[in-house]
Amino acid sequence: MDSLSPELFWDVKREEVSPSKHLRWLTERILVYGRWRDWCLLIANTPVAELKNVSPRLKVPARAKVFLENYVESALDA
């Protein structure tokens, strides 16, 4: 969590964000405002099944949702 870009936490206290408890929120932030490094940290530390479960509930632009869905699909096929 400490390695994520500080810009993702402009309106919350970083230490109060739990990746497991706030996965949907964190995924939205990373997809919309994050850097490539943030995305790499997310997928390295989050099981694909959890990203798949949270995907339908995300409030992100369509292109970000398609990006995540394509990642999940290709990761599950591998």
- Indicate whether 78 pLDDT > 80: no
Residue 33 sits in which domain range? Answer: 6-77
Q: Which residues of 7-25 are buried (b: 16+ CB within 10 A; e: fewer)?
A: ebbeeeeeeebebeeebeb
Answer whether residue 1 is part of any domain.
no
Total-model pTM:
0.92
The answer to the question of residue 19 being in a domain is: yes
Does a structural domain hold residue 12?
A: yes
pLDDT in tens, 25-73: 999 999 999 999 999 999 999 999 999 999 999 999 999 999 999 999 9
**How many separate domains does the chain show?**
1
